[in-house]
Amino acid sequence: MKAVVYERYGPPEVLRLADVDRPRPTGDQVLVEVRAVSVNASDWEGLRGRPAYARLGGLRRPRARILGSDLAGRVEAVGPQVTRFRPGDEVFGDNLALKGGFAQYACAREKALAVKPAGMSFEEAAALPQAGVIALQGIRTKGRVQAGQRVLVNGAGGGAGSFAVQLAALAGAHVTGVDNAGKLDFVRSLGADEVIDYARTDFTRTGERYDLILDLSAHRSAFAYRRALVPGGRYLYVGGSVPTLLQVLFVGPVIGGRAGRKVRMLVVQPNPTDLLTVARLCLDGTIRTVIDRRYPLSEVPEALRHLGEGRAKGKLVVTLD
């Protein structure tokens, strides 16, 4: 089968299209014929080996030779322990644990997959899993956002951010979206009431305070984030620098003070229930999936470069015939 592989961390040039063996599903694995796979910041990080947490799956060299987590396709075969799927089923999910989606076939754990809703295209289904579930768990599940609350989404114009802004606006929150200047009109179009250009303004120093900060690109100190919270407010680290992550993990729990501010990491739990919740919201038109660009499998390096250079608005999707 055709796959986009890499043997060392580096720029998109280290990727190449190759013929490799088709994987075989074992245990609870499902072999999926991939019809569409979306590109996430986690793929970019896994390609570069940066931040350092991207090397958890191989310190010096990547253990998984094929990136690509968010896939949608048709079940080709199942392992002996699989009970929920059979060949021919149309599925989608976040395969972050095994990856391998930038290929004609990929193995995914059964628990990572859901049945793709009939009215949804493979492309749209592939755009949802990681970004949609991060947004849902950040905005809705881990302490529900209330109408009138002030919510700031840092990284609002990217994959997860574009869903998070819409979900927060849907909850009736006053939403501030932070991203680069080129994405701010887009962020407004998603429902943000206010926008901030991260290159010009440090949102932790404006004097504004928020009930929830969902941070998809965290690079400041835990103390700066606490400063930007109202009493009882929550800051959630999703992705960003390792020093910030370590501060959030080790200092975060003790700096909340009597005012009950919480500075924490959001550990996203991919699961079919949340995935289908987001899918239903998209299907009934409550929120929308924004697919910025589509690429063939051979252009995965270009797709990753587009994302890495900060030009993607919403999602990038790779489609396979």
Is residue 205 near ligand NAP by the rule CB under 6 A?
A: no
CA distances from 284 to 176, 188, 279, 316 (A): 25, 21, 9, 22
Which residues, 154 to 183, sit near ligand NAP by CB under 6 A? 154-155, 157-161, 178-180, 183
Between 89 and 193, whose beta carbon lies closer to ligand NAP? 193
User: Which residue from 295, 293, 290, 294 is spatially nearest to 314, judged by alpha carbons?
Assistant: 290
Q: Is 310 in the site for ligand NAP (CB under 6 A)?
A: yes
If one asks whether residue 198 binds ligand NAP (CB under 6 A), the answer comes out as yes
Buried b / exposed e over 224-250, threshold 16 CB at 10 Å, is bbbebbeeebbbbbbbbbeebbebbee
Q: How far is the CB of 21 from ligand NAP (least distance, A)?
A: 28
Written as one letter, the residue type at 80 is P
The 59-98 contact track toward ligand NAP, x by CB under 6 A, reads: ----------------------------------------
* List 29, 42, 104, 149, residue binding ligand NAP (CB under 6 A): 42
Determine which residue in the list 238, 263, 281, 317 makes contact with ligand NAP, applying CB under 6 A.
238
SS3 234: strand
- Number of residues lying near ligand NAP (CB under 6 A): 29
| Separation between Cα atoms, residue 159 and residue 289, nearest integer Å | 9
Decide if residue 40 touches ligand NAP (CB under 6 A).
Answer: yes
Among 108, 266, 279, 303, binds ligand NAP (CB under 6 A): 266
Number of H helices, E strands in the chain: 9, 15
Tell me how far CA of residue 224 lies from CA of 180, 204, 208, 247, in angstroms: 20, 6, 12, 11
In the complex, which residue's CB is closest to ligand NAP?
Answer: 158
Q: Which of 59, 181, 242, 267 binds ligand NAP (CB under 6 A)?
A: 267
Of 22-30, 39-47, 72-80, 295-303: span binding ligand NAP (CB under 6 A)? 39-47
| Residue number, 4 or 134, with CB nearest to ligand NAP | 134
Round to whole Å and give the CA distance between 108 and 143.
30
Phi, psi of 254 (to 5 degrees): -110, 0
Asked if 244 is part of the footprint of ligand NAP (rule: CB under 6 A), the reply reads no
Residue with the two structure tokens 């407004």:
188
Instruction: Give the distance, in angstroms, between the CA of residue 109 and the centroid of all CA atoms in the same chain.
Output: 18
DSSP 140: I
C-alpha to C-alpha distance for 280 and 202, rounded to whole angstroms: 36
Residue 183 or 261 with smaller CB distance to ligand NAP: 183
Closest to ligand NAP by CB, 25 vs 132, is 132
Q: Site for ligand NAP (CB under 6 A): which residue of 5, 6, 31, 45?
A: 45
Taking alpha carbons only, the member of 125, 59, 93, 61 closest to residue 282 is 125
Q: In the window 107-126, what residues touch ligand NAP (CB under 6 A)?
A: none
CB of 211 to ligand NAP, least distance (A): 19
State the residue for tokens 């299907």: 283
Residues binding ligand NAP (CB under 6 A): 40-42, 45, 130-131, 134, 154-155, 157-161, 178-180, 183, 198, 216-217, 219, 238-239, 266-268, 307, 310
